[in-house]
Chains A and B, each alone.
Chain A
């Protein structure tokens, strides 16, 4: 079993819908959480990071962390076709800078 689990999708939604993505993890030592977006044939780019339980908003994006359930989520409001990409969650322990990534969820926003 992988340390970080993520549904690979694809998740297909109509334009304007809310996209809901999540990751579960097994190691309670993970304290810091990130979401990266990866377009096809490109490298990942950081979308959001959060260091505490609760919600963090940035424009159309909301990241949610529930450490007690070992569950993190990313919501994309008013989705656009340009949001079509693979979304990777990543997390790390308090010490060190090694990121552990989920396998990514492929999202397709249809016009």
Chain B
């Protein structure tokens, strides 16, 4: 039974398109995150939500918009995709804000923009 799941696993799209990635966790956690991992494996936080409230919003282009319909789901919508958006996007969750050191990651969504 998958703890943190993401869909889709792979996404190939053209520049200028709009796409969404979905994330769900069944761990009962309060806090969820989006990370971007580039080709050099650097994992960088993008957003963090706690109980549907935005907590961390790093310097991310406003083409990226997260949405948390409930505390078990955190989706990422990307407008006007650019070549530089190609990366692996990971969703993660932690029990709460204080438990943020132990984060459970999803399998990742490999986004390729052509």
Task: Tell me if A103 and B101 are in contact (CB < 8 A).
Answer: no
Name the A residues within 8 Å of B90 (CB-CB). 43-44
Q: Please choose the segment from B35-43, B61-69, B70-78, B79-87 that sits at the chain A interface, where 4 or more of its residues have CB less than 8 A away.
A: B35-43
Chain B 81-111 residues near chain A, CB threshold 8 A: 90, 92, 94, 97-98, 100-108
Q: Please choose the segment from A11-19, A52-60, A74-82, A92-100 that sits at the chain B interface, where 4 or more of its residues have CB less than 8 A away.
A: A92-100
Tell me if B4 is interfacial: C-beta within 8 Å of chain A: yes
Question: Which residue from B41, B45, B101, B106 sits with its C-beta under 8 Å from A104?
Answer: B41
Instruction: Known contacts A44-B105, A46-B102; decide if A97 and B40 are in contact (CB<8 Å).
Output: no
Question: Which residue from A43, A103, A104 sits with its C-beta under 8 Å from B92?
Answer: A43
Question: Which residue from B4, B44, B45, B102 sits with its C-beta under 8 Å from A43?
Answer: B4
Task: Tell me if B43 and A92 are in contact (CB < 8 A).
Answer: no
Tell me if A107 is interfacial: C-beta within 8 Å of chain B: no
Chain A 62-106 residues near chain B, CB threshold 8 A: 86, 88, 90, 92, 96-101, 103-104
Name the B residues within 8 Å of A99 (CB-CB). 45, 100-101, 103
Question: Which residue from B41, B42, B107 sits with its C-beta under 8 Å from A42?
Answer: B107
Task: Tell me if A103 and B41 are in contact (CB < 8 A).
Answer: yes
Expressed in whole angstroms, the Cα–Cα distance for A103 and B106 within the complex equals: 18
Tell me if B56 is interfacial: C-beta within 8 Å of chain A: yes
Expressed in whole angstroms, the Cα–Cα distance for A96 and B43 within the complex equals: 18
Nearest CB to that of A44 among chain B residues?
B105
Task: Tell me if B107 and A97 are in contact (CB < 8 A).
Answer: no
Name 7 extra pairs, CB < 8 A, besides A88-B41, A97-B56, A101-B43.
A2-B42, A8-B40, A34-B101, A43-B90, A45-B104, A103-B42, A104-B41
Identify 30 residue pairs between A and B in the complex whose beta-carbon atoms are under 8 Å apart, listed by A's number: A8-B40, A8-B41, A34-B101, A41-B107, A42-B108, A43-B92, A43-B105, A43-B106, A43-B108, A44-B103, A44-B105, A45-B105, A46-B102, A46-B103, A88-B41, A88-B43, A90-B101, A96-B56, A97-B31, A97-B56, A97-B97, A97-B98, A97-B100, A97-B101, A98-B45, A101-B43, A101-B44, A103-B40, A103-B42, A104-B41
